[in-house]
Amino acid sequence: MVRENPPVKEPDENDIEVGMPKNWAAGMPGVLHSMVPALEHMGVERTRKTLLSMNHKDGFDCMSCAWPDPDHRKAFEFCENGAKAVTWEATPVVVSSDFWAGHPVSDLLSRSEYWLGMQGRLTEPVYKPAGEDHYRPVSWDEAFSIVGNKLNSLDSPDQAAFYTSGRTSNEAAFAYQLFVRGYGTNNLPDCSNMCHESSGWAMGQTIGIGKATISYDDFGKADLIIIMGQNPGTNHPRMLTALEEAKDNGAEIVAVNPLPEAGLKRYKNPQQVKGIIGHGTEIADQFIQIRLGGDMALLQAVSKRVLDAEARNPGTVLDHAFLQEHCEGLEELKLHLAELDEDAVLEATGLRVEEIDELAARYLKADKVIVTWAMGLTQQKRGVATIKEIINLLLLRGNIGKPGAGASPIRGHSNVQGDRTMGIWEQMPPSFLDALGKEFDFEPPRDHGADAVKTIQSMREGGIKFFMAMGGNLVGAISDSNAAEAAMHGTEMTVQVSTKLNRSHAVTGSEALILPTLGRSEIDRQAAGEQFVSVEDTVCAVHPSFGKVEPVAAALLSEVAIITRLARATIPGKTSADWAGFEKNYDLIREHISRVVDGCEDYNTKIRQEGGFVLPNGPRDSRTFPTPTGKAVITVNELEHLDRPAGTLILQTLRSHDQFNTTIYGFNDRYRGIKKGRHVIFVNPEDLAELGLTDGQRVDVHGISDDGAERVLRNYRIVAYPSAKGCAAAYYPEANVLVPLENVAHGSNTPVSKAVIVRLDPAREQEPVAPTTAAGE
Ligand SMILES: Nc1nc2c(c(=O)[nH]1)N[C@H]1C(S)=C(S)[C@@H](COP(=O)(O)OP(=O)(O)OC[C@H]3O[C@@H](n4cnc5c(=O)[nH]c(N)nc54)[C@H](O)[C@@H]3O)O[C@H]1N2
Ligand SMILES: Nc1nc2c(c(=O)[nH]1)N[C@H]1C(S)=C(S)[C@@H](COP(=O)(O)OP(=O)(O)OC[C@H]3O[C@@H](n4cnc5c(=O)[nH]c(N)nc54)[C@H](O)[C@@H]3O)O[C@H]1N2
Ligand SMILES: [Mo]
């Protein structure tokens, strides 16, 4: 079954082809696109076992995003990008034992993320001793004792940090945070720190819980769905089916985005005849092309119009009974918004008054409103305040805690929400720590730990010397790549638990280990038999996930096995945890989860019910708000927007259609008309004219910041693109070199990846440019 790695072909960035962007998403081409690489890489049998069991009730949970499964699952309930994710994981191509001798770390450092990922699955633990440039295979026992000895030699547990990426299962996450707290630190940074942290903060402070207040079925019941700062056609493609159903039921949809994203315009559903041969469904009734960072102003302006309408017709607009019984802070909001500077709103949003009026009219007409959002809102300096304004707007008309209405952050990684529920957070509340300590007879550390940005800052200052990652690619994902890599290089030991190679395996501490692990699609056999794991989706539904294909290598351990064996090598007897028992049978872990994690009582029983179970959620279920006063808090937020010095642009960093975060599947961004390359910057044609630049020209993109450090992306091709005026876009993770580490959102400390001030200079070395043609199908 195992295959040698084929030579990896990378495109020449000078041959990028640029065609017209698409105005529709998915449809049959989407499904076909997904099947071809799967069949090519995995063959018929493995393709059948993976693609056709993904998202089925006895199959595994798709690892591509946290979008929920409807109860009525269909055979096609996977999407093009889900298929890419599973093909990437379940590939039979492996990194062989002799790979390491031929590829020193210095060679890995010169390789792209694409090349690294294409080497195939990691199959055996490897170790790089201090002072050496090569990893070499080691036994599992050797690996655990190297790590355990290192951890026990540190002066303080706070000199270690333990990262988690959001694919880790609930069982592994629970065991991991127990090990880390048993060892003695709360340094548990995670990908969420760079992702929906702003949502968690804003919602926690206003409605008392940082999770969506809707269930899957609410989409079909809504009158109005407002999608802000999110590109579902690429990043949550199955959401388009829910939006189509909502439209069929009469809902209006508004998209707020600086870019006219394909999936927000029209959707061709591959499961319906009209999606295969017809025009598909028009998705957005109104497209609001907002400037980067302008959402806070837009939301305040709409709330002001709602309050004005109430003032004109008292008693008829606001949900007075709801506000009276469940909310506080309305009067302060009224006073604040009465002073709203409409000129500042137009400046911040770049919109016309009529567009804002139209959105307000739609909001006032609708009885049931859902607002969804993703990275366009969270990765902003004022991301927390912006999301608080969403809550304000929803509360005014009682749009929380009733069918068809609510606040819905759409999570990214498939189990990032579950990981948080299980205690992966550097700031878990005392009630959780108390329960954990009681359950396992130890005293958990109480000081808050370091988040992702603080971990890098602490490494730079010599504080954190040991770094372990349960999945992910922190140096690839975090801002200020050069600074982050220098900090990581300065540590004493790095340990990566991974399925495939990435940049974080090349940017090491003086000693480094790679511990390969099973993917979610693979069968997990332990002493007590085949194990399943559990995950939580973006609407708080928890369900089991069963691996289906043979593991790609016999030596692979599950994440749970790696954590429990490491705990035995590092902190035997420190807690009362039966680590060996955990590894044998994950039911034992779930028994503890039942007693420690709120809402997970009888976990082993509930997880075995058909379809799993839904975690309780006070605002959604009963309009109870677990805030200090028991009321939802309407907040007052000072309007702020970005100043853009003359001659500069605001840049957002986003995902192409051919990537999963730092994993690059390919070099096309079909919906945006890009083929064979990623080094492009999308710029509005009017901005180009003002800056004296042209489509196709090569430029160096300079990040402008106060610290005077040089941050530059060289030789990028300009693509004239209908982005909002003054707002450019380039692909993450490459563009991370431009984002200063200190540029973080107020409150959540999330890197501001969607608002970087840049200057474009003609490239130092001019390269020939391929002509613009109509690329794409
Ligand atoms: N195929 C695939 N699926 C994925 C991922 C992937 O990389 N590939 N990543 C997963 C993860 S971890 C996450 S968090 C999600 C990310 O899902 P998204 O948040 O959809 O991801 P981005 O590509 O960052 O897109 C941000 C969107 O917000 C818009 N935007 C940017 N700034 C602003 C702003 O100021 N205001 C408004 N209104 N809009 C703005 C952009 O134009 C873009 O459409 O997707 C998940 N799913
Ligand atoms: N500039 C900019 N930066 C960003 C963002 C942005 O929009 N712009 N988005 C941010 C967001 S939303 C996020 S979530 C982060 C993502 O940050 P991360 O989660 O750290 O990054 P990923 O690229 O998702 O991690 C991919 C790696 O995970 C490993 N992996 C995959 N599956 C498994 C598994 O089952 N188990 C284990 N142990 N390992 C596995 C593989 O080795 C793979 O190389 O990036 C953030 N960074
Ligand atoms: Mo994310």
Tens of pLDDT along 69-78? Answer: 776 455 456 7
| Residue 112 counted as domain residue | yes
Q: Which of 33, 34, 62, 65 to mutate to test the pocket of ligand 1 (most atoms within 8 A of CB)?
A: 65
Q: Which of 69, 90, 111 finishes a domain?
A: 90
Nearest-CA residue for ligand 2 atom 32 is 499
Structure tokens at 394: 């929803």
Residues shown for the chain:
777
261 CB within 6 A, ligand 1? yes
Tell me: the pLDDT tens digits for 717-736? Answer: 999 999 999 999 999 999 99
- The rounded Å distance from CA 742 to ligand 3 centre is 19
Question: Among 17-26, 352-361, 567-576, 704-713, which stretch is predicted with the lowest mean pLDDT?
Answer: 17-26
Domain contains 421: yes
Same domain, 667 and 609: no
What pLDDT was estimated at residue 1?
52
Summarised one tens digit per residue, pLDDT across range 339-398 is: 999 999 999 999 999 999 999 999 999 999 999 999 999 999 999 999 999 999 999 999
How many CA atoms lie less than 13 Å away from 139 in the CB half-sphere?
3
Looking at residue 765, the DSSP 8-state letter turns out to be S
Q: Calculate how far, in angstroms, residue 478's C-alpha sits from the geometric centre of ligand 2.
A: 10
Per-residue pLDDT at 561: 98
Strand partners, 669: 674
Residue 412, φ and ψ in degrees, nearest 5: -95, -80
Give yes or no: residues 249 and 337 share one domain: yes
Q: Are residues 574 and 425 in the same domain?
A: yes
- Residue 190 Cβ inside 6 Å of ligand 1? The answer reads no
Q: Is the pLDDT of residue 5 over 70?
A: no
Give the confidence band of 777 by pLDDT, cuts at 50, 70, 90: very low
Q: Is there a single domain that holds both residue 227 and residue 330? A: yes
Residue 627 lies in a domain: no
Distance CA 246, CA 273 (A): 18
Per cent of the chain over pLDDT 70 is 94
Ligand 2 pocket by Cβ (under 6 Å): 165, 167, 191, 194-195, 375, 379, 412-413, 470-474, 477, 497-500, 502, 517, 519-520, 559, 653-654, 661-663, 732, 735-736, 739, 753
The answer to whether residue 103 sits within a structural domain is yes
Give the pLDDT confidence score for residue 758 in this predicted structure: 98
CATH number of the CATH domain containing 389: 3.40.228.10
Q: Quick one: 34 and 128 in the same domain?
A: no
CA of 529 to the centre of ligand 1 (A): 39
219 part of a folded domain: yes
Using DSSP bridges, classify how beta strands 136-137 and 126-128 pair: parallel, antiparallel or unpaired: antiparallel
Q: Each residue of 456-509: pLDDT tens digit?
A: 999 999 999 999 999 999 999 999 999 999 999 999 999 999 999 999 999 999
Residues 434 and 370 in one domain: no
At 774, the pLDDT band (50, 70, 90 cuts) reads: very low
Q: What's the number of domains the chain is made of?
A: 4
CB neighbours of 392 closer than 8 A, spacing ≥ 6?
299, 303, 333, 634, 635
Q: Residue 110 CB: number of other CB atoms within 10 A?
A: 9
The pLDDT assigned to 281 comes to: 75
Q: State if residue 753 touches ligand 1 by the CB under 6 angstroms criterion.
A: no
Q: Tell me, what's the pLDDT at 195?
A: 98
Residues 471 and 553 in one domain: yes
Nearest ligand to the C-alpha atom of residue 90: 2
Residue 400 DSSP class: S
**Residue 413 CA: which ligand is closest?**
1
Say yes or no: CB of residue 291 within 6 Å of ligand 1.
no
Is residue 372 domain-shared with residue 425, that is, in the same domain? Answer: no
* Structural domain harbouring 659: 649-762
Residues 6+ apart with CB under 8 A from 192: 166, 200, 416, 419, 420, 424, 425
Which position has the higher pLDDT, 32 or 521?
Answer: 521
Q: What is the pLDDT, as a whole number, of residue 270? A: 67
Q: Report the distance separating Cα 223 and Cα 365, nearest Å.
A: 9
Q: Which atom of ligand 1 is nearest to the CA of 375?
A: 19
State the pLDDT at residue 51. 78
Considering 90, 113, 144, which residue would you say is the last residue of a domain?
A: 90
Distance CA 509, CA 507 (A): 7
pLDDT of residue 701: 98
Ligand of minimum distance to the alpha carbon of 409: 1
Average pLDDT over residues 29-51: 73
- Please give the average per-residue pLDDT across 77-105, as a whole number: 88
pLDDT, tens digit, 9 for 90 and up, residues 245-304: 999 999 999 999 999 998 887 777 766 655 555 566 788 999 999 999 999 999 999 999
The type of residue at 43 is: G
Q: Give the domain CATH number at 147.
A: 3.40.50.740
**Are 338 and 362 in a shared domain?**
yes
Give distance in angstroms: CA of 77 to centre of ligand 2: 24
CATH number, position 710:
2.40.40.20
Q: 90, 112, 127 — which closes off a domain?
A: 90
| Helix (H), strand (E), coil (C) string for 109-143 | HCCCHHHHHHCCECCCCEEECCCCCCCEECCHHHH
How far apart, in whole angstroms, are the C-alpha atoms of residue 38 and residue 516?
22
Residue 694 to residue 771: CA distance in whole angstroms: 13
Same domain? 533 vs 506 = yes
**Closest ligand to Cα 386:** 1
Tell me the pLDDT of the chain averaged across its residues.
Answer: 93
Counting residues of the chain whose pLDDT is more than 90, the rounded percentage is 82
Q: Which of 87-101, 193-207, 326-340 has the lowest mean pLDDT?
A: 87-101
- Is 637 contained in some domain? no
Residue 207 and residue 349 in one domain: yes
More confident residue, 178 or 765: 178
d(CA 478, ligand 3 centre) in Å:
11
Compute the distance from residue 694 Cα to the ligand 3 centre, in Å.
33
Each residue's pLDDT tens digit, 615-661: 999 999 999 999 999 999 999 999 987 888 999 999 999 999 999 99
Output the CA 191–ligand 2 centroid distance in Å. Answer: 7
Same domain, 435 and 553: yes
Burial letters for 113-132: b for 16+ Cβ neighbours within 10 Å, e otherwise? bbebbbbbbbbbbbbbeeee
Whether 131 is covered by a domain: the verdict is yes
Whether 640 maps to a domain, the answer reads no
